[in-house]
Amino acid sequence: MQRPRRLVTVSHSYVVTLNRRLANEMARVGGGAWDVTAVAPRFFHGDLRPIHLQPDSDEPAKVEGVRAFLSRSPHAFVYGPELREHLRRGVDLVHAWEEPFVLAGLEVALLTPRRVPLVFSTFQNLSKRYPPPFAQTERFVVGRSTGWVAGGQTVKDNLLGRLGYAARRSCIIPMGVDTELFRPDRASGEAVRRELGWSADGPPVVGYLGRFVPEKGVSLLMRVLEQLRTPWRALFAGGGPMEAELRAWAARHEDRVRVLTGVPHEGVPRVLNAMDVLCGPSQTMPRWKEQFGRMLAEAFACGVPVLASTSGEIPHTVGDAGRLLPEADDSAWARALSDVLESPELRRELSSRGREWAVRRFSWPVVARAHLDFFEALLERR
pLDDT in tens, 281-325: 999 999 999 999 999 999 999 999 999 999 999 999 999 999 999
Kindly state whether residue 282 falls inside one of the protein's structural domains.
yes
Kindly state whether residue 118 falls inside one of the protein's structural domains.
yes
160 and 200 in a common domain: no
Kindly state whether residue 105 falls inside one of the protein's structural domains.
yes
Closest CA to 156 of 197, 124, 182, 180: 124
- What's 278's DSSP letter? E
209 and 125 in a common domain: no
227 and 102 in a common domain: no
Kindly state whether residue 291 falls inside one of the protein's structural domains.
yes
Kindly state whether residue 111 falls inside one of the protein's structural domains.
yes
Task: Flag residues of the chain having pLDDT under 70.
Answer: 1, 47-48
Give the per-residue pLDDT at 1: 55
pTM of this prediction?
0.94
Give the per-residue pLDDT at 47: 67
Give the per-residue pLDDT at 48: 63
Burial class from Cβ neighbours inside 10 Å (0-12, 13-18, 19+) for residue 191 reads: middle
367 and 227 in a common domain: no
Q: CATH no. for residue 164?
A: 3.40.50.2000
Integer Cα distance of 188 and 196 in angstroms: 13
Give the per-residue pLDDT at 326: 97
Total number of domains in the chain: 2
Contacts of residue 84, defined as CB under 8 A and 6 or more positions apart, other chains included, come to 111
User: CA dihedral defined by 245, 248, 252, 258, rounded to 10 degrees?
Assistant: 90
168 and 88 in a common domain: yes
- What's 176's DSSP letter? P
Domain that holds residue 66: 5-176+363-381
Kindly state whether residue 181 falls inside one of the protein's structural domains.
no
Closest CA to 330 of 320, 338, 340, 321: 338
276 and 340 in a common domain: yes
Q: Are 294 and 178 in contact (CB under 8 A)?
A: no
125 and 266 in a common domain: no
Kindly state whether residue 56 falls inside one of the protein's structural domains.
yes
Paired sense of beta strands 43-45 and 50-52, if any: antiparallel
Integer Cα distance of 98 and 112 in angstroms: 14
* C-alpha Rg value of the chain to the nearest Å: 22
What's the pLDDT tens digit per position in 27-52?
Answer: 999 988 999 999 999 999 876 678 99
Please report which residue ranges of 101-217 form alpha helices under DSSP H: 103-111, 134-144, 153-159, 186-195
345 and 230 in a common domain: yes
135 and 23 in a common domain: yes
Burial class from Cβ neighbours inside 10 Å (0-12, 13-18, 19+) for residue 42 reads: middle
374 and 356 in a common domain: no
Integer Cα distance of 154 and 367 in angstroms: 18
193 and 257 in a common domain: yes
169 and 30 in a common domain: yes
